[in-house]
Copies of this chain bind each other. A is one copy, B any other.
Amino acid sequence: MSLLPLNDALARWREALDAAGALQRLPAETIPVAQAHGRVTAAAVWARISSPHYHAVAMDGYAVRSAMTEGATEAGPVRLRLGRDALYVNTGDALPEGFDAVIPQEETRVEEGWLEVTHPVRAWRHIRIIGEDMVTTELVVPAHQRLRPQDLGAIAGSGHNAVRVFRQPRIAILPLGQRLAPPSPHVEPGQIIEFNSMVLAAMAREWGAVANPFPPQDGDLDALIQQVRAALDDHDLVALNAGAAGGARDYAERIIRALGEVVVRGVALRPGHAVILGHARGKPIIAIPGFPVSAMTAFERIVRPLLADWLGQPEEHPPRLQALLPQTIVSDPDMDEFKRVIVAHTYRGAVARPLPQAAGAIMTIVRADGVIHIPRGQDGVPADSYVQVALLRSPESIAHTIIHIGSHDLALDILADQLRRAHPDRSLNSLGVGSLEGLQALARGEAHLAGVHLLDPATGAYNIPAVRAHLPHLPVVVMRFVHRAQGLILPRGNPKNLHTLADLTRPGVTFINRQPGSGTRQLLDYHLARMGIDPAAICGYDREEHSHLAVAAAVKNGVADAGLGILAAARSLDLDFMPLFLERYDLVIPAAHYESDLLAPLLAVIDSDDFRQTVAALGGYEVEGMGEIVFRT
């Protein structure tokens, strides 16, 4: 598939849509003003009435003729006859004919039918003169305005009870594929939980569309063609979601060709290259790739501009933040690439770190703070550049987010949950990449803390030697967090009867390892060396997972007979566990962050009994000494 540059693809598609009559603006409709919030005006609104439409009293008090109050003083007050020269009026009343000012009630004295005025009153005081706010025929709201609450008020206040708006664009989203299943924990291997339709529908609704996600379509080609034809008749745009399942894209292409024309087949966009743009029955139709991040990116870059255009709206761009990028990003110069990043406000300022870019990993876009666009023609971004991050969260919420990068531990997820519930304006965003990478992230200023369990092979000491070696110039504290049991994660019943590391070298035993740099890997290598076991003798030593739970899942699913990990991971997947060692898992925190307002609520949660008891109850954890500073540099 040869890929067309994004801008060329959009231009070519629009040209074809235009020629097919599929690009005109949406028809207008007239709806009650009270229901028009968020809708887009199809025509300017001009005032039918002035506001106020009469000289309105702006204060409870007495209407007077200002000329009659001239010369009034405390000593020589002017007396006005009530009912003739002074009339009681309420806020909002029409000013009586011939009167030109109001004296507030509290500035007057009333005595037996007379009003005493002790100071002269300026003409038009406390009067909202006719047209003060707006005047008949004035422009109230231009065409193509997305209506905010105050716009509704101004339109109603100018005498309109209805407003002319564009009909909302109607978008159909049809997931294609034989093996799509609804969300459930009970799915078979090869079945895929279909959620793109609800994600894309929610995005389209944010952009002002009416979105109809269809159930998964798994009929034969003829049935699908009928289904899509019906959807085209009822909608302004049809998006086929070609599923993560092979072959579905070919199906999508055949459907489009059967009903209309394919204009673009593949766009130089990453993630999201595998799109097909076409039109059928005078409507745009698009096939969106199946991996969730690809689907979201393609939908945002290709469908959103079309909706904006239909509604006469400028394309909206998210707020941007300039951030330091300590690590090089590589990009394909033939592609427009969109890289998800997290952004931490650390001792180096705003610092961006790329997340894993797997298009199938929706959690990366849940965790991401923003996206860096690397345009076609660039082969990446060099380390220590400043980059513009298009934000997926508000700058304020990013500034209140604590970033953990390091070894993953379930206790950190408990911490994230308890922090958010106790302090709604703080979040803990945790990226599990292993202990050593955590320390390197601190050195680069990408994170506020790193969970580490690094054994020094020479001394058998935990963490402090690694901190000295890897963070020689950064003042940090090392805080005791948990001691946790490391051991063999085994299938239920321990069918291969494994009890020690030495048992892993037995023929027919397959191991699943952790990646180099992770604390568990170092623990394994340390004990193998002490025991004189050759790693090469362990089948599967070279197969690596990146988290405790991924190791447990590999054992659970029969990929391996054993892995080294923590009890919590084994237990959560209902596996057996053979404890071998007790290891120290500490938090390393740069001193500047340890003393910051940002982290204070997190430290308070760590200090709470509730948190400690919850972690202890997971099993396999020793929480004594949690929160103590065991080392400072």
Which chain A residues have a beta carbon within 8 Å of chain B's beta carbons?
Answer: 33-34, 37, 44, 46, 48-58, 60, 89-94, 97, 123-124, 128-145, 148-157, 159-161, 177, 179, 182-185, 187, 189-190, 192-193, 195-196, 198-203, 205-206, 213, 243-247, 290, 292, 296, 308, 312-317, 319, 358, 360-366, 392, 394-397, 400, 410, 413, 416-417, 420-421, 424-425, 427, 430, 542-543, 545, 547, 549-550, 552-554, 557-559, 572-573
Which residues of the partner chain B approach A90 to less than 8 Å between Cβ atoms? Answer: 245-247
Contact for A140 among B132, B199, B366, B397, CB less than 8 A: B366
On whether A296 and B362 interact (CB within 8 A), knowing A131-B549, A183-B156, A245-B91, the answer reads no
Question: Chain B: which residue is nearest A54 at the CB level?
Answer: B189
From A195, A200, A545, name the one whose CB has the most chain B CB atoms within 10 angstroms: A195
Which residues of the partner chain B approach A363 to less than 8 Å between Cβ atoms? Answer: 51, 133-134, 140, 154
- B142–A198 contact, CB under 8 A? no
A55–B157 alpha-carbon span in the complex (Å): 62
- A161–B140 contact, CB under 8 A? no
Question: Chain B: which residue is nearest A421 at the CB level?
Answer: B143
- B140–A400 contact, CB under 8 A? no
- B138–A49 contact, CB under 8 A? no
Contact for A417 among B143, B161, B203, B392, CB less than 8 A: B143
Contact for A34 among B60, B184, B198, B290, CB less than 8 A: B198
- A198–B156 contact, CB under 8 A? yes
- A314–B133 contact, CB under 8 A? no
On whether A396 and B316 interact (CB within 8 A), knowing A157-B183, A547-B135, the answer reads yes
A364–B132 alpha-carbon span in the complex (Å): 11
- A290–B91 contact, CB under 8 A? yes
- A149–B203 contact, CB under 8 A? yes
Which residues of the partner chain B approach A182 to less than 8 Å between Cβ atoms? Answer: 161
From A58, A92, A290, name the one whose CB has the most chain B CB atoms within 10 angstroms: A92
- B424–A154 contact, CB under 8 A? no
Which residues of the partner chain B approach A57 to less than 8 Å between Cβ atoms? Answer: 246
From A160, A202, A358, A363, name the one whose CB has the most chain B CB atoms within 10 angstroms: A363
- A199–B149 contact, CB under 8 A? yes
Interface residues of A, dominant DSSP: loop
From A150, A154, A427, name the one whose CB has the most chain B CB atoms within 10 angstroms: A150
Question: Chain B: which residue is nearest A139 at the CB level?
Answer: B413
Which residues of the partner chain B approach A151 to less than 8 Å between Cβ atoms? Answer: 366
Question: Chain B: which residue is nearest A161 at the CB level?
Answer: B183
On whether A187 and B360 interact (CB within 8 A), knowing A549-B137, A553-B131, the answer reads no
Q: How far is the CB of A617 from chain B (nearest CB, A)?
A: 14
Contact for A152 among B91, B93, B138, B199, CB less than 8 A: B199
A61–B177 alpha-carbon span in the complex (Å): 18
- A199–B150 contact, CB under 8 A? yes
- A132–B360 contact, CB under 8 A? yes
On whether A553 and B366 interact (CB within 8 A), knowing A195-B153, A202-B152, A400-B314, the answer reads no
A156–B292 alpha-carbon span in the complex (Å): 12
Which residues of the partner chain B approach A129 to less than 8 Å between Cβ atoms? Answer: 545, 550, 554
A316–B19 alpha-carbon span in the complex (Å): 45
- B37–A205 contact, CB under 8 A? yes
A510–B157 alpha-carbon span in the complex (Å): 30
Question: Chain B: which residue is nearest A247 at the CB level?
Answer: B90
Q: How far is the CB of A391 from chain B (nearest CB, A)?
A: 10
By Cβ-Cβ distance, the 8 closest A-B pairs, closest first, are A90-B246, A314-B425, A135-B549, A54-B189, A94-B189, A156-B195, A159-B185, A149-B202
A49-B187, A149-B200 are known; give 14 further A-B pairs, CB within 8 A.
A50-B553, A90-B245, A90-B246, A93-B245, A129-B545, A130-B553, A132-B361, A136-B549, A149-B199, A153-B362, A157-B193, A159-B185, A316-B396, A319-B319
A46–B573 alpha-carbon span in the complex (Å): 13
Contact for A144 among B93, B123, B177, B420, CB less than 8 A: B420
From A48, A545, A549, name the one whose CB has the most chain B CB atoms within 10 angstroms: A549
Jot down 18 A-B pairs with beta carbons below 8 A, ordered by A. A33-B195, A53-B187, A54-B557, A55-B557, A123-B542, A128-B360, A131-B547, A133-B364, A135-B549, A137-B410, A139-B417, A142-B416, A143-B417, A148-B202, A149-B206, A149-B296, A156-B198, A314-B424
Which residues of the partner chain B approach A190 to less than 8 Å between Cβ atoms? Answer: 54, 92-94
Which residues of the partner chain B approach A547 to less than 8 Å between Cβ atoms? Answer: 131, 135
A140–B366 alpha-carbon span in the complex (Å): 8
Question: Chain B: which residue is nearest A192 at the CB level?
Answer: B92
A94–B202 alpha-carbon span in the complex (Å): 29
Q: How far is the CB of A103 from chain B (nearest CB, A)?
A: 14
- B358–A128 contact, CB under 8 A? yes
Which residues of the partner chain B approach A573 to less than 8 Å between Cβ atoms? Answer: 136-137
A429–B543 alpha-carbon span in the complex (Å): 64
A319–B420 alpha-carbon span in the complex (Å): 23
Q: How far is the CB of A94 from chain B (nearest CB, A)?
A: 4
A557–B97 alpha-carbon span in the complex (Å): 10
A358–B126 alpha-carbon span in the complex (Å): 11
Which residues of the partner chain B approach A155 to less than 8 Å between Cβ atoms? Answer: 183
